């Protein structure tokens, strides 16, 4: 019984084993990555059944991805092996101070060749299943015209089936400019139930600046059409505003980390924790807490998926945060 379906490009990431600039990196560890795949793995570890729609190359990296996702218990029936295109790759340095440089090798990748026909076929398979949720990111429509159309078709199918639809903006400026991304992401946001993003991403959609108050950004984003807007504010935690009560913003602090080992993938982990909580019937405040805890867990280990917690690990993190006296805030 599949509860959640997601789609996008899965990559293989090579992450430098020691901190320092990419120019000096000589040894790398290999990981499976990709925003939607990270969310899928996060949800699976939290006990939810997930299916993944996408394409990987008919190469060893594609095999590594299929083995990893299958091993995590994810339904990859609709993960197509493309013999004519490579699996996307990324190379990433590790930095103790400042953002990490990332170099992609993904132009013409198998993941960018996802089609509407593949999405239609996949979504049709779930019409008689207990499917509840579709999760997308803003990366997929940036990959190609075909991938953009596939994302739109997924939303159309999910809307017709009465699913809850979430969109994590994940604005990737290496793929497109703010000016190119804004109208596309606004159009997608108008047709989803839950919109998630960082302050700078929501600022692009709402014609504001990233230094605006997160609550103001969330309320402005509600005007685009979603029912709930979540602002991921990193070390400050997260904010949610519900259309049913827009005057009552829910704020939850982040789970403090003594050392941030690797922040990449923390936002995807947040999405996994948030969606899992909502599938469990939790309120928005609890969903933010679970998202924050999952994000902290992901940032405590190298690799996008390494630190994603299971139920027992998540419970331990939440207990520790409660013992530390993290306050609840509504404003």
Residue written as token pair 């809850």: 164
- 313: tokens are 């690990």
Distance CA 237, CA 327 (A): 11
Residue 54 has a CB neighbour count (10 Å cut-off) of 30
Mind telling me the catalytic residues?
Answer: 268
Give the three-state DSSP class for 177. Answer: coil
Could you give phi then psi for residue 302, rounded to 5 degrees? -80, 135
Taken in order 180, 185, 190, 191, the sign of the CA dihedral is: positive
Give 154's contacts (C-beta < 8 A, 6+ positions apart). Answer: 7, 53, 119, 123, 134, 136
Distance CA 279, CA 146 (A): 30
Distance CA 302, CA 320 (A): 22
Q: Which own/partner pairs from 17-25 qualify as long-range (CB within 8 Å, at least 24 positions apart)? A: 17/94, 18/94, 19/93, 19/94, 19/95, 19/96, 20/93, 20/94, 20/95, 21/93, 21/101, 22/91, 22/92, 22/93, 22/101, 22/103, 25/93
């Amino acid at each position: 019984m599949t509860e959640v379906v997601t789609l996008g490009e899965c990559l293989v990431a090579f992450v430098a084993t020691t901190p320092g600039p990419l120019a000096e990196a000589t040894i790398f560890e290999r990981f499976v990555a990709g925003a939607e795949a990270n969310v899928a793995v996060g949800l699976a570890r939290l006990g939810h059944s997930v299916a993944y729609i996408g394409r990987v190359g008919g190469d060893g990296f594609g095999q590594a991805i299929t083995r990893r996702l299958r091993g995590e218990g994810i339904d990859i029936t609709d993960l197509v092996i493309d013999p004519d295109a490579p699996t996307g790759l990324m190379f990433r340095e590790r930095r103790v101070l400042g953002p990490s440089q990332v170099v992609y090798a993904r132009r013409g990748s198998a993941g960018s060749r996802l089609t509407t026909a593949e999405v239609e076929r996949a979504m049709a398979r779930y019409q008689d299943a207990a499917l509840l949720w579709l999760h997308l990111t803003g990366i997929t429509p940036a990959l190609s015209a075909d991938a953009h159309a596939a994302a739109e078709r997924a939303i159309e199918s999910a809307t017709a089936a009465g699913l809850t639809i979430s969109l994590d903006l994940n604005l990737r400026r290496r793929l497109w400019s703010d000016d190119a991304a804004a109208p596309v992401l606004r159009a997608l946001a108008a047709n989803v139930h839950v919109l998630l993003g960082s302050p700078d991403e929501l600022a692009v959609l709402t014609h504001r600046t990233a230094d605006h108050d997160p609550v103001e950004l969330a309320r402005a984003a509600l005007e685009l059409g979603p029912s709930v807007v979540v602002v991921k504010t990193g070390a400050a935690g997260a904010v949610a505003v519900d259309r049913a009560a827009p005057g009552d913003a829910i704020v939850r602090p982040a789970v403090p980390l003594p050392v941030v080992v690797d922040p990449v993938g923390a936002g995807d982990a947040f999405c996994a924790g948030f969606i899992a909580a909502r599938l469990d019937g939790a309120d928005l405040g609890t969903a933010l807490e679970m998202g924050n805890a999952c994000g902290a867990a992901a940032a405590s280990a190298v690799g996008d998926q390494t630190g994603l917690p299971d139920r027992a690990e998540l419970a331990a993190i939440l207990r520790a945060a409660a013992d530390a006296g993290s306050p609840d805030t509504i404003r």
